[in-house]
Amino acid sequence: MVETAFTWPKGFYSDGLHAGLKAEKPDLGWLFSKVPASAAGVYTTNQFCAAPTALTKETINHDHQLQGIIVNSAIANSCTGPQGKLDALKEQALMAKKLGVSQNLIGVASTGVIGEMLPMDKIKAGIAKLKQTKSAKVTEAVLTTDTHTKTIAVKFEIAGHQCTMAGFCKGSGMIHPKMATMLGFVTTDAKISGACLQDLLSEEVDTTFNQITVDGDNSTNDMVVTMANGLAMADEESLTPDHPDYPVFAQAYHEVLSALAKEIARDGEGATKLVEANVKGAANDLDAQHVAKAIVGSNLVKAALFGQDANWGRIMGAIGATDADLDVNRVDIKLNGINIVLSSHGVEYDEWLLRQKLAEDQIKIDVNLHHGFGKGQAWGCDLTYKYVQINASYRS
């Protein structure tokens, strides 16, 4: 598996444009495959699941097939009642008609302010203008407070066929996924059944998208959707877990999902640093994941890291506040490679050197619980003035 410049896999097309939902940036885009693709999705667990998210979930669960997806930013079409559902269905119908495919092969995704109605005239005019291109404009059209697009493409070989997998996502605030998160889209020309793809996505999302947090908040519109159209493996059987090259596909998928997840954490609202917590020595992997996410989720840890302050007591506080099985006297902590806690005690360290290390734009917090063989990782970011600024004036 090698990372490559962003490119759509065989048979995938896309476009993006400014439909007038935002002031000037791209805000509407689509993505589709020239043939129906196996599809899988994971969706927010927020009880106020937005209309487009609910519709896409229903559509994909029907028989795990999808041919295209229409995406807008600026307005989430969430908490919009029966009219919101009709609007999502209308988008689905407009795109299906334009592509000449069945409506139940089209997904719909929206992100932005909750509670506002979609301006359907603008959406309709925008859809009419979308073209079948190989551009990456949709990766821009999906952004809200993100500072840049988040994309990755990898190439890998299955049964001698060169396959491509390309993913993109958006997300910057309201990020604390409990099942999926934000909007994430992964396309591939590898061949795999929808059911296998769903199983793999559901599994992989637990150690990737579900292990990032920006602010502890959980959106109403989150989803990660994958489409696999099989066009790079024309005469081959679909991949299944017992195929010899299945691990190659699974690894590519894991790399794409975790790269996208980390990009979201790095681009957390106002963030200046990507924070990674690596926990080992836990009673089991779940405990380790839970502890890792608690550390990167602590406002106090996040603010201390913004201030380049090695205030490790807050890391201990975050670990101890979990219900993970702990030996409270055996915890070791390193910050960017420097030992600061051994056996739950602070150790002498070079404060000046550590402050330099904490000025870096990536902070690794390595924790050894010395209580078993469980491992887990999580990603977040620092808490800055800019986070407050962005969110004190989001609608203005």
Q: Is the dihedral of CA 109, 110, 115, 119 positive or negative?
A: negative
Whether the CB-CB separation of 209 and 170 falls below 8 Å is answered with no
Interface size with a copy of itself, residues (CB under 8 A): 65
Smallest gap, in angstroms, from Cβ of residue 345 to a copy of itself? 5
Instruction: Please enumerate in sequence order all residues whose Cβ is within 8 A of that of 262, keeping only pairs 6 or more positions apart, or say none.
Output: 212, 274, 276, 379
Identify which of 56, 54, 81 has the alpha carbon closest to the alpha carbon of residue 66. 56
356 binds a copy of itself (CB under 8 A): no
Count helices and strands in the chain by DSSP H and E runs: 11, 15
Could you say which of 162, 286, 345, 373 contacts a copy of itself (CB under 8 A)? 345
Whether the CB-CB separation of 147 and 267 falls below 8 Å is answered with yes
Interface characters, 290-329, with a copy of itself (x: CB under 8 A) = -------xxxx--xx-xx-x-xxxx-xxxxxxx---x-xx
Confirm whether 147 is a catalytic residue.
no
Task: Report the residue number, 132 or 343, with the smaller CB distance to a copy of itself.
Answer: 343
341 binds a copy of itself (CB under 8 A): yes
Smallest gap, in angstroms, from Cβ of residue 395 to a copy of itself? 5
Instruction: Please state the length of the chain.
Output: 396
Whether the CB-CB separation of 306 and 384 falls below 8 Å is answered with yes
Task: Report the residue number, 152 or 381, with the smaller CB distance to a copy of itself.
Answer: 381
Task: Report the residue number, 33 or 44, with the smaller CB distance to a copy of itself.
Answer: 44
Identify which of 156, 171, 185, 183 has the alpha carbon closest to the alpha carbon of residue 32. 185
77 known ligand binder: no
114 binds a copy of itself (CB under 8 A): yes
Task: Report the residue number, 143 or 232, with the smaller CB distance to a copy of itself.
Answer: 143
DSSP of 285-314, one letter per residue? HHHHHHHHHHHHH-HHHHHHHHTT---HHH
144 known ligand binder: yes
Task: Report the residue number, 191 or 273, with the smaller CB distance to a copy of itself.
Answer: 273
396 known ligand binder: yes
Burial class (CB in 10 A: 0-12, 13-18, 19+), 273: buried
Whether the CB-CB separation of 91 and 207 falls below 8 Å is answered with no
188 known ligand binder: no
Out of 53, 56, 80, 181, pick the active-site residue.
Answer: 181
Contacting positions for a copy of itself (CB under 8 A): 45-49, 76, 78-81, 113-116, 173-174, 176, 178, 215-220, 297-300, 303-304, 306-307, 309, 311-314, 316-322, 326, 328-329, 341, 343-346, 383-385, 387-396
Residues designated catalytic: 181
Annotated binding residues for substrate: 144, 170, 181, 269, 391, 396
